[in-house]
Amino acid sequence: MSLRLDTKDPGRYQELLDKYDTWMFDCDGVLWHGDRLIDGATEVLQILRSQKKRILFVTNNATKSRRNYKKKLDGLGIEAHVDEVFGSAYAAAVYLSSVLNFPVDKRVYVIGMSGLEEELRDEGISFIGGTDPADNTLSAPGEIPPDLSVGAVLVGLDTSINYTKLSRAFRYLHSNPACAFLATNEDSTFPSDKGLLPGAGAVLAPLLTALGPNRPVTAIGKPSGLMLDAIKAKHNLDPERTIMVGDRLNTDIQFGKDGGLATLLVLTGISSEGDLTGPNPSTVVPDYVTPSIGDLRAAVASW
């Protein structure tokens, strides 16, 4: 059973501030929608900083690198440092370099955007595909010979997804059982400023369908523990004093629970009250629920 927070009872918010030192935030749907800040988000982050809390931005959005993210946060007037940002593009690049020890003579075939390429480049991972104009075409693919130099296929959200990219990724994976199959994340949708749109999980779906159940994918982003591993490699965390704030039960809240963190669901994004109390309630139950991140301002108002 979740504890419902309400600005009519500001003491509850103050208790939360007292209890947790590290605050992990999902971004889209929690701090902003597209390019619109959620009311009060900036002030809440300022309150947390003034109380010496550690702030981490933990996002499945793999279209941006950490540096892109920092710029976006700057542009929205949110103080942020690159080492506070953990995106699934970064986590995927770290997974390739540190966990798979990706060989220097191999290349990754990328379905994804420039932010993902930037993180791979920073980790010294060679890649093909991605934003390469040759693969960004609506022509049907020509011959796609097997290529054993492709040691992994990595799929993230790509708004230039097309049949040539899907066909190349499919054939590299189908022809070579040793080729690793990775995804930055599996979010089925994402909340854009133009409304809900298909997410990385939707871009990945054609490959899962064409390859069948014997070729499972390793997804790096939330809810996978691989994302928490990437954070722990950089920050010394006490899970007991860490809270994950998110808008999505099956990614953010699941991620927090699996990692032994406290969890706070905000209702400004994907998951709704109905997902908690409707006829088919989610089995993923957050510790706390509040209508919006901005509600945490109530803690200060109570001082």
Both structure tokens of 130: 């991605």
Q: Does 188 bind its own copies (CB under 8 A)?
A: yes
Q: Does 199 bind its own copies (CB under 8 A)?
A: yes
Q: Least CB distance from residue 206 to its own copies, whole Å?
A: 4
- Among residues 92 and 204, whose Cβ is nearest to its own copies? 204
Q: Does 201 bind its own copies (CB under 8 A)?
A: yes
Which entry of 6, 9, 18, 21 is annotated as an active-site residue?
Answer: 21
- Residues 259 and 287 sit within 8 Å (Cβ to Cβ): no
Helices 200-211 and 163-175 pack at an angle, to 10 degrees, of: 50
Three-state DSSP class for residue 195: strand
Stretch that binds its own copies, among 38-46, 82-90, 118-126, 206-214 (CB under 8 A): 206-214
Q: Does 128 bind its own copies (CB under 8 A)?
A: no
Q: Does 72 bind its own copies (CB under 8 A)?
A: no
Q: Does 92 bind its own copies (CB under 8 A)?
A: no
Both structure tokens of 95: 């997974």
| Burial class, 21, CB count within 10 angstroms (exposed 0-12 / middle 13-18 / buried 19+) | middle
Both structure tokens of 200: 């990385």
Count other C-beta atoms under 10 Å from residue 216's C-beta: 10
Helices 66-75 and 114-122 pack at an angle, to 10 degrees, of: 130
Stretch that binds its own copies, among 2-10, 27-35, 195-203, 265-273 (CB under 8 A): 195-203
Distances from the Cα of 11 to the Cα of 145, 295, 296, angstroms: 64, 12, 10
- Among residues 50 and 139, whose Cβ is nearest to its own copies? 139
Both structure tokens of 121: 């480049």
Count other C-beta atoms under 10 Å from residue 141's C-beta: 16
- Among residues 82 and 197, whose Cβ is nearest to its own copies? 197
Measured CA to CA, the distance from residue 79 to residue 72 in angstroms comes to 10
Stretch that binds its own copies, among 50-58, 65-73, 197-205, 239-247 (CB under 8 A): 197-205
Q: Does 178 bind its own copies (CB under 8 A)?
A: no
At 287, phi and psi to the nearest 5?
-70, -40
Q: Least CB distance from residue 201 to its own copies, whole Å?
A: 5
Measured CA to CA, the distance from residue 39 to residue 295 in angstroms comes to 9
**Interface residues for its own copies in 209-248 (CB under 8 A)?**
209-210, 212
**Interface residues for its own copies in 134-173 (CB under 8 A)?**
136-138, 140-144, 158-163, 166-167, 170-171
Active site residue 135: no
- Among residues 225 and 278, whose Cβ is nearest to its own copies? 278
Number of residues that bind its own copies (CB under 8 A): 38
Residues found near its own copies in the complex (CB under 8 A) = 136-138, 140-144, 158-163, 166-167, 170-171, 174, 188-189, 194-199, 201-210, 212
Report, as residue numbers or ranges, the catalytic residues.
21
